[in-house]
Amino acid sequence: MTVQPFDFAGMQTPTNQTDYLYLALMVRIETYLQKATAGGGFAALMPDEGDELARLSIAAEAYEDSLPLMPIKVPQSIPEMIQFKMYERKASQRDMAALLEIPETRLSEVLRGKRSINLALAKKLRTKLNIDAGFILDHA
């Protein structure tokens, strides 16, 4: 049986050691899959090869699950961060105002950029939403 080389066309060039290890893992998986395909199924693999294929597949899946599916936009302002926290909590503007113990109109003004935050709101953003104090200071 001749094993075809793994086709890297269309794949991103590895940029770090983890990417190289992942590609090496995929080459080994592909080798076993080609052997199984040529032999008519996974029964064509030796028991130790089947076990290794299972281990490699689990490792590849764990690595793939650790990668973000799409770039996550990092909030660049207090209003964006509050909206991000609202999204995370699946909270409405009304729910967020209640959590922060401020009037809905005030939260609306902050979200639209019509009002800046004061010290009391900054403290609530830190304690109730776990927004980093450095972020609050940098963007207030």
User: Tell me, what's the pLDDT at 60?
Assistant: 87
Sequence letter at residue 94: R
Q: What is the CATH number of domain 78-139?
A: 1.10.260.40
User: pLDDT digits over 15-55, tens only?
Assistant: 677 778 888 888 999 998 998 888 888 888 888 988 898 99
CA distance 50 to 61: 16
pLDDT band at 4, cuts 50/70/90?
low
The DSSP secondary structure of 72-105, one letter per residue, reads PPPP-SHHHHHHHHHHHHT--HHHHHHHHTS-HH
